[in-house]
Amino acid sequence: MNIRSRFSLRPIVNTSGTMTGLGASIARPEVIEAIAAILPQFVEIDDLQRCACAAIAAACGSEAGYITASASAGITLSIAATMTGDDLGLIERLPDSASLKHEVVVQTGHLVNYGAPLDQAIRLCGARAIAVGAATEAHGYQLAGAINSRTTAALFVVSHHTQQYGMIPLEEFIAIAHAKGVPVIVDAASEYDLKGFIAAGADIALYSAHKFLGGPTAGIVAGSKALVRAAYFQNGGIGRGMKVGKEGIAGAIVALQTWAARDHQAVRRLERGYLTLWQERLNLFPGIRAQIDADPTGNPLERLKITVDRIAARITAWDLVDALARSKPGYAAVIARDHEAEQHFFFLDPCNLHPGEEQLVLERVVAELEHARTAPQPIATPFSGRDAGRTAARRRWPD
């Protein structure tokens, strides 16, 4: 039986990307095989994590590494590591940070919500975020001035959620923090580049195993041996609630091992074909401008940016996104990448499509645009009520 039918889940097509709320990504066949193989077995987790350490070191160019529950958990536990070192007594004290260095400097433009507030991941271990600069402008002198005797770490976030201009570049950020004796943690959860951040001087780099790597839900902590050990030891403290199972560790190991062998160019060619198919058809509609757009953080991938003229198209960008997401007889529900829809555009991301779904996506978008073109009235609801409606719907869970 189809697993969706078994659990009474509606069928969806994911053109949003590697989003946790949609299950993140399609797990690689080798990963699925490894998870299935280890689930019936007993293993000593410390030994399995030693295997992960070697795999992470090889893939990331770091001294060491380990697997935790998620990249978000990695943020909390890596910051905790800078506060306690490998002192077991201090580890058991957290989140009581009295007498410990507990301030974490982070650029204001990096204090984002990635499904939860970034500063909450900092606060979970008893630390406190110290915002540097303004939301759209930060300078090195501001970072240097924010570092003091209470500073335990400097956190740098690489994400499409963050401000993409006016921020302190990574190299300068690392240089200033290191000149002050402060370790740098890079949250690179959704990044392709597994080696660049450690090579640039980061003390810890964090990745999601379940995004582009195609692994299970897990976080990868790569970095110096001393900090990785101290972060791993947090499993005897606040990290107990963020533990990862044997299947997560084994799956992440295999995802890392197979990443280098993947034919990334072939993947790009396939995805570019989907984007071109969509672009050529959708640009025939009045009020629609479809253009292939590069990833904002420099990952080697592209998405289709669809800009909607609400007058000519007779529908707003957000109403089109919401229409695509609704189940409809004869069509698949399509979940688009809509975090900037109020600016009258959204994206179609091809990275998580099963074969043939590119046609389903095109059919659904065309159907909704045709419907808007022939509707008695333009489809234009106020954007201001959209977030409130989503929040209200979520509050009704599990009903």
pLDDT digits (tens, 9 = 90+) for 130-157: 999 999 999 999 999 999 999 999 999 9
Contact 307, 279 (CB under 8 A): no
pLDDT in the model for residue 5: 82
pLDDT in the model for residue 387: 82
pLDDT in the model for residue 283: 97
pLDDT in the model for residue 48: 97
pLDDT of 202 > 70? The answer is yes
pLDDT in the model for residue 275: 97
pLDDT in the model for residue 330: 79
Q: Which CATH class is domain 28-259?
A: alpha beta
Which of these, 151, 361, 207, lies nearest to 273 by C-alpha position?
361
Percentage of the chain beyond pLDDT 90 is: 80
CA distance 103 to 106: 10
Question: b/e for 216-225, b at 16 or more Cβ within 10 A?
Answer: bbbbbbbbbe
Beta-bridged to residue 81, according to DSSP, are: none
Joined tokens for residue 289: 């401008």
pLDDT tens digits, residue range 322-347?
A: 999 998 887 889 999 998 899 999 99
pLDDT in the model for residue 160: 84
Q: Where are the domains of the chain?
A: 28-259, 263-395
pLDDT in the model for residue 253: 97
pLDDT in the model for residue 1: 52
What is the mean predicted confidence (pLDDT) over 273-280?
Answer: 96
* Three-class HEC string of the chain: CCHHHHCCCCCEEEECCCCHHHCCCCCCHHHHHHHHHHCCCCCCHHHHHHHHHHHHHHHHCCCEEEEECCHHHHHHHHHHHHHHCCCHHHHHHCCCCCCCCCEEEEEHHHCCECCCEHHHHHHCCCCEEEEECECCECCHHHHHHHCCCCEEEEEEECCCCCCCCCCCCHHHHHHHHHHCCCCEEEECCCCCCCCHHHHCCCCEEEEECCCCCCCCCCEEEEECHHHHHHHHHHHHCHHHHHCCCHHHHHHHHHHHHHHCCCCHHHHHHHHHHHHHHHHHHHCCCCCEEEEEEECCCCCCCEEEEEEECHHHHCECHHHHHHHHHCCECCECEEEEECCCHHHCEEEECCCCCCCCHHHHHHHHHHHHHHHHHHCCCCECCCCHHHHHHHHHHHHCCCC
pLDDT tens digits, residue range 216-272?
A: 999 999 999 999 999 999 999 999 999 999 999 999 999 999 998 888 899 999 999
Q: What is the CA radius of gyration of the chain?
A: 22
Cα dihedral across residues 169, 170, 174, 175: positive or negative: negative
CA distance 10 to 119: 34
| CA 181 to chain centroid | 29
Say which range, 37-41, 42-46, 362-366, 391-395, has the weakest mean pLDDT: 391-395
CA distance 54 to 127: 30
- Of 153 and 386, the structure prediction assigns the larger pLDDT to 153
CA distance 313 to 94: 55
Joined tokens for residue 126: 């008893």
What is the mean predicted confidence (pLDDT) over 91-114?
Answer: 95
pLDDT of 391 > 90? The answer is no
The band of 109, judged by pLDDT with boundaries at 50, 70 and 90, is very high
Number of other CB atoms surrounding residue 361 within 10 Å: 23
The band of 23, judged by pLDDT with boundaries at 50, 70 and 90, is confident
What is the mean predicted confidence (pLDDT) over 73-92?
Answer: 97
Fold exhibited by the domain 263-395 = Aspartate Aminotransferase, domain 1 (3.90.1150)
pLDDT in the model for residue 137: 95
Percentage of the chain beyond pLDDT 70 is: 100
pLDDT of 80 > 80? The answer is yes
The whole model's pTM is what? 0.90
Phi and psi at 315, nearest 5°, equal -160, 150
Contact 206, 114 (CB under 8 A): no
Asked if the domains at 28-259 and 263-395 fall in one CATH topology, the answer is no
Q: How far is CA 247 from CA 21, 41, 261, in A?
A: 20, 10, 22
pLDDT in the model for residue 395: 87
